[in-house]
Amino acid sequence: MDLNLIDAPFDLRHIRPGELEEILEDPFGLRFLPDNDRNDGASRYFALGRTVADRHLFIAFTTDGKIARIISAREMSDSERRFYDRNYNETR
């Protein structure tokens, strides 16, 4: 999936585009569709994943199936990390 990082609302010096791709490609990553009743008809997804360098990130994005537009990216919170680790250990 290609990334659209034009006008990214976060600092790309702290989270590299390659790390965002790794989150989207994480085979153990978790993806959620939390707000499917939006007025504009767009679907926003949340994802929890781990990079190759063992960095745990949360991202929010929209997609048309080919291009993902990253809306937000940050380190996982402690509760998100526990949730990811619990699911990772169950599926591994």
Give per-residue pLDDT as tens, 25-67: 999 999 987 666 666 666 789 999 999 999 999 999 988 878 8
More confident residue, 2 or 53: 53
> Mind giving me the DSSP string for 67-87?
EEEEEEEEEPPHHHHHHHHHH
What band does 22 get if pLDDT is binned at 50, 70 and 90? very high
**Token reading at 5:** 């990082």
pLDDT of residue 21: 93
